[in-house]
Each structure stands twice: as C-alpha cells, then as structure tokens.
Structure 1
Amino acid sequence: MTDRQRNPTGAALSLLILDVFRLNGRLLAEGDRLVAGLGLTSARWQVLGAIALATAPQPVAWLARSMGLYRQGVQRIVNELEQEGFVAFADNPHHRRAKLVTLTKKGRTAYEAADRMQKPWVNRLAKSLNAADLAAASRVLAALRQRLDEEAREED
C-alpha cells in the first residue's frame, strides 16, 4: 500500500467524515428552521447553549474552545447577541480585556424556549434508533475529536 492509498479503516473513516459533513449541514438547516421564530440561528443557539450550560460565566475564548470553534467566529456571534440583548458582558476579575459573557433574561428565555422546541423534534428524530447504537456512535465521534485535538497540540 502506498502513502496515497487508504487502508480499509481509513476508507471507512473517510465515508463517515463525509456523512458527518452532510449531517452537519442538515442539522444546521433544521436548527435554523426550528429557532427562527425566536430570533436565533443554529449558530446563535449553539453559543447560547454554551453560555447557558457553562458552570460559570466565561470569556469568549473559553466558550469557543469548549465548542471546538474559532474565537473570532464566536466573538462575532456573541457581539450580535449582545447588540440584540440576548447576552451581556461582565468584568472579568482575572483579565481586564477578556470580558465574561452572561445570558440576559431575554437570552435565558430564548434558550429555554429553544430547548422546549428541541425536545419533541429530537424525540421524533430518534424514533426507531437504538440508544446503544447512538451511544456507540457518540463514543466514536468523541474518540475522533480527541485524536484531532491531540494532533493539533502536537503541531503547536
């Protein structure tokens, strides 16, 4: 086998990656549709979720890292959300310039409404799927993400 050929596992992983890309596009489109009436997009919903689920207010860089995204992209979305009253910035006692991001009442209300809308949607989507299969898929995706994180650290 030359360096240009995939082994059977590499070929299977390539197909999985393509499926994940296609799934991501569909999930973003469906997420946009689901939360459009709340003044959100999938990207905004994702950022609100990261803020809502954090154990304490965090700066944008930490939020981006927890989502596996670039800080600049998350910063743009946070700035939009702040302009529309979904989030607010608070002083960070550990860093003068890296403000902490917090949900406002409007942001918490929107996030909770999106969560309520997501539950019946995800339950319909999960119909006829097996919980054990989904858990196995989640473990595979987590292992791939971890491997990518490790390779990125080795390159730094």
Structure 2
Amino acid sequence: MYYQPFSYENNAHDARPLQQVLREIAKAINDEFQAIHYYTRLAELAPSNQFRQMILGIRQDEIKHFHWFSRAYHELTSKYPPITLGVQLPGSFKRGVHDSIKDEQETVPLYHKIASQVQNQQISQRFLRAAADEQRHAQIFSQMAAGI
C-alpha cells in the first residue's frame, strides 16, 4: 500500500489540525512564561539555599523551554506567539511546591501530544525533551515537599 506522509502544506483539510497544534504550542509557551515568573517568586520564598538553588535550576529549564517553543511557533507561523500576562504567584512556599508538582505532572501529556502532532522532527524532539524535564521537575518538587 502506498503511504503519503502527512503534510500541512499539501492538504487543504490540514488547516484545522495545524491550528489546533498551534493553539497547544501557544498554551505551552504561556505555561512556560508563567512558570518562569512563578519559580522566581517560589525561589524567593524558599526556606533554604539548597531549595532555592533547585528551584532556580528548574527555572532555567523553563526559560530554555520557553525559547524552544517560541522558536517553534515562529518557524511554523512566521509570527511571534501571543503571551498572556497575569501570573498568579505563590503565597507560601509549601503551597507553591504542591501546586508545582501538579502543574509539572499535568504538562507532560500536553508536550507528548504536541510532539506526536508536529511534522518537524527537531520541534518534536524538543517537546519530548521538555516532557522529560517536566517529569524530572515533578520528582524534584516531590522531594522538596517531603522535606518541608
């Protein structure tokens, strides 16, 4: 049986799937943007330098993801992604850590979904790498939660 690879450019019916994936990438970009600011505040609330350094390391990963995803969005659209301001910052370290565990875990399936839907192998690999980072972040936050 002849197999034609899925291509957004060659199929008029593909505009809908492309628009959906672009919405998901835009969501991922905004989630990363918010995480950067959230973790900045969480690091300020950290009760120890060890926790602060761990959070700042996670924040660096989120900055990297933000840049990767923004670049991917631009490659696919020739436009810059829409960024939504208005991050709800943590009020306490303990609550912030628990919310971070949940957020990091919920992000993984979205990144896997995007990776499976994009045609560009480099973009797909970056989303898979980010998903692995998010899983690692959830483990780090879980360790922090056990230590508070």
Point out the structure with the larger helix share.
2
TM-score higher than 0.5: no
Give me the TM-score of the superposition, normalised by structure 2: 0.34
Give me the TM-score of the superposition, normalised by structure 1: 0.33
Point out the structure with the larger strand share.
1
Question: For the pair shown, which has the larger CA radius of gyration, 1 or 2?
Answer: 1
